[in-house]
Copies of this chain bind each other. A is one copy, B any other.
Amino acid sequence: MDDLNQPTEAAVGGRRSRGERGAAGRRASRGGAGPGPSLPHITRKIRVYAVLDEEGLQLIERNSDTILEEIGIEFRDDAEALELWAKAGADVRGQRVHFPKGLCRELLKTAPSEFTWHARNPERSVHIGGKATVFAPVYGPPFVRDLDGERRYATIEDFRNFVKLAYMAPSMHSSGGTVCEPVDVPVNKRHLDMIYSHIKYSDKPFMGSVTAPERAEDTIAMAKMVFGDEFVENNCVTLNLINANSPMVFDETMLGALKVYARHNQACVVSPFILSGAMSPVTVAGTLTQILAEVLAGAALTQLVRPGAPVLFGTFAASISMQSGAPTFGTPEPSLVSYGAAQLARRLGLPFRTGGSLCASKVPDAQAAHESSNTLNTTLLAGTNFVLHAAGWLEGGLVSSYEKFMIDQDQLGMMQKLAEGVDLSEAGQALDAIREVGPGSHYLGCAHTQAHFQTAFYRSALADNNSFEQWEIEGQKRIEERANALCRSWLDAYEAPPLDPAIDEALLTFIASRKESMPDAFT
């Protein structure tokens, strides 16, 4: 940014020959530097926003206790989880567990309210909980919308690309997990290539595989090659997405992964997967009540497996269209759910996950942006600690979109700036500038502006703020076209972070040996 001229009055009219994109393009092309250095996770200096008062919170907590006691939660597990619950004093009837009042809360007292999620590059380690907010990319889509505009099944090449983009995006604080499903790799071997890609192509913290207990064990094994055995057993190096099969069920796959990760001291993000109206009541309060009950039960189980294992209060807030049953995103009700769930999580003393840049749109148009922006603004102000799906999510999570990833990561930068709050220092007050300029003049050239203009405002590399005429000359491009070009330039400029060749070798040998032992089937 050192090459930027100081602003001039003449430029204010918006008629000019060189715009922000020009500057961004120059930055990106200069020495293949890409988008600039990664930022640390957000440490919020702004307040959280709350939608429930004390009375409302207590009401929902009481109702959740009623669910846990009267209705119970199903653990569709082999015997282990059920035995743990019985031993802890719960009333186990078949797979249905009924919880004496207060049991889950009591168990959760051993769960840490804040912890470090370690990256292989210590500078990229992030804080989970408290005032920290950590962004992670989209998780799970089997499809991509690629840079040629095609919607197709995702491949391992796409997977690597999204890892690279997340590595390069300054405000993306983690590498995420299943940034897309590499369907060209057999499903039983896929996790090995995914974990390897996160380690090889990024040095930001990554998520583990949860689709089977043995894949979770493979994740742990590979993490140990990077971090060392003892370090992994005593520190969090993976976050792991454990969805409840709402309403009020945890299935065998998720419980299997939960137990592996908790046993190895890795963090579980216990997340009721809820489309309100289908998996929960059509009301916000009813949905919150069920979410709290499900999280209490699932998160408490991690503490039965290993007291002190890190665990997050997860929420996936969406609704359905009551006309069609289709999932909807970015509407007001899920925003209220996220705000309320964040409050409940804080009272429980657990780090909180919700939100992201969710949308139902098939393309990165204004629908996608409105839905994503409604979700993301809510996510930030709710005080969310871990934000999955922060960039790249399209079409209800069926598609990872390159263009939308770029647009979203720009918005994440804005949120990071917003979270800094208001600078009330003497420089922030700027009284001298106001004195210097006085009535009827302007601030463009004043000393205060010259001293602070480089860091004053968030700079978007994608927003076109040029005059209409300039925009016309430059080809009347929509933001997704600019995002497409920027994405290509990032991928061109990508340089892998260094990785100890011995570790790389060990990982590749492990993967080869594990793949050898598996049937070569897409099942």
User: Interface of A with B (CB < 8 Å)?
Assistant: 4-5, 7-14, 16, 18-20, 23, 46-47, 49-52, 55-56, 59-60, 63, 66-67, 70-74, 96, 151, 245, 247-249, 275-286, 288-290, 319-328, 331-333, 335-336, 340, 360-374, 377-378, 381, 395-396, 398, 404, 407, 411, 414-415, 417-418, 420-424, 427-431, 433-435, 437-444, 448-449, 452-454, 456-460, 462-468, 471, 476, 478-480
A51 to B55, CA, bound (A): 25
Whether B16 lies near A247 (C-beta < 8 A) is: no
Whether B277 lies near A457 (C-beta < 8 A) is: yes
Q: Which residues of B contact A420 (CB under 8 A)?
A: 332
Q: Which residues of B contact A480 (CB under 8 A)?
A: 365-366
Query: Of B67, B290, B332, B468, which one neighbours A417 at CB under 8 angstroms?
Result: B332
Looking at the assembled complex, report how far the CB atom of A93 sits from the nearest CB atom of chain B, in whole angstroms: 12
The oligomer's copy count stands at 2
Whether A374 lies near B282 (C-beta < 8 A) is: no
Q: Which residues of B contact A333 (CB under 8 A)?
A: 417, 456-458
Whether A440 lies near B249 (C-beta < 8 A) is: yes
Whether A407 lies near B63 (C-beta < 8 A) is: no
Whether A332 lies near B423 (C-beta < 8 A) is: no
A59 to B430, CA, bound (A): 12
Are A286 and B323 also in contact (CB < 8 A) when A14-B396, A396-B14 are?
A: no
Whether B283 lies near A429 (C-beta < 8 A) is: yes
Residue of B nearest to A466 (CB): B326
A280 to B439, CA, bound (A): 10
Whether B277 lies near A456 (C-beta < 8 A) is: yes
Q: Which residues of B contact A429 (CB under 8 A)?
A: 59-60, 63, 283, 285-286, 289
Q: Which residues of B contact A23 (CB under 8 A)?
A: 323
A245 to B441, CA, bound (A): 10
A72 to B440, CA, bound (A): 11
Sample 28 A-B pairs with CB under 8 A, ordered by A number.
A7-B320, A7-B325, A13-B325, A23-B323, A51-B422, A56-B422, A71-B438, A74-B439, A151-B468, A247-B442, A249-B440, A278-B442, A282-B443, A283-B456, A285-B422, A285-B430, A289-B430, A319-B456, A326-B467, A331-B417, A336-B418, A340-B422, A365-B366, A365-B478, A365-B480, A366-B368, A366-B407, A395-B468
A176 to B286, CA, bound (A): 39
Whether B443 lies near A279 (C-beta < 8 A) is: yes
Q: Which residues of B contact A324 (CB under 8 A)?
A: 7, 11, 14, 16, 18-20, 465-466
Looking at the assembled complex, report how far the CB atom of A398 sits from the nearest CB atom of chain B, in whole angstroms: 7
Whether A366 lies near B285 (C-beta < 8 A) is: no
Whether B279 lies near A367 (C-beta < 8 A) is: no
Residue of B nearest to A399 (CB): B468
Are A286 and B430 also in contact (CB < 8 A) when A278-B444, A462-B367, A464-B361 are?
A: yes
Q: Which residues of B contact A10 (CB under 8 A)?
A: 325
Residue of B nearest to A336 (CB): B422
Are A50 and B50 also in contact (CB < 8 A) when A361-B464, A443-B281, A479-B366 are?
A: no
Residue of B nearest to A365 (CB): B478
Whether A414 lies near B374 (C-beta < 8 A) is: yes
Are A326 and B283 also in contact (CB < 8 A) when A247-B439, A366-B368, A464-B360 are?
A: no
Looking at the assembled complex, report how far the CB atom of A223 sits from the nearest CB atom of chain B, in whole angstroms: 33
A96 to B398, CA, bound (A): 62
Looking at the assembled complex, report how far the CB atom of A171 sits from the nearest CB atom of chain B, in whole angstroms: 12
Whether A286 lies near B444 (C-beta < 8 A) is: no
Interface centre among A319, A332, A333, A366 (most CB of B within 10 A): A366
Q: Which residues of B contact A437 (CB under 8 A)?
A: 247
Looking at the assembled complex, report how far the CB atom of A337 sits from the nearest CB atom of chain B, in whole angstroms: 9
A442 to B83, CA, bound (A): 27
Q: Which residues of B contact A282 (CB under 8 A)?
A: 430, 443, 448-449, 452-453, 456-457
Q: Which residues of B contact A151 (CB under 8 A)?
A: 468
A430 to B333, CA, bound (A): 15
Residue of B nearest to A446 (CB): B281
Q: Which residues of B contact A369 (CB under 8 A)?
A: 365-370, 373
Whether B331 lies near A414 (C-beta < 8 A) is: yes
Looking at the assembled complex, report how far the CB atom of A248 sits from the nearest CB atom of chain B, in whole angstroms: 4
Looking at the assembled complex, report how far the CB atom of A67 sits from the nearest CB atom of chain B, in whole angstroms: 6
A381 to B407, CA, bound (A): 24
Query: Of B50, B289, B328, B457, which one neighbours A431 at CB under 8 angstroms?
Result: B289
Besides A19-B323, A278-B443, A360-B465, 6 new A-B residue pairs in contact (Cβ under 8 A), listed by A number: A71-B439, A247-B441, A278-B444, A289-B430, A325-B444, A333-B417
Are A47 and B49 also in contact (CB < 8 A) when A435-B71, A457-B319, A457-B322 are?
A: yes
A253 to B249, CA, bound (A): 67
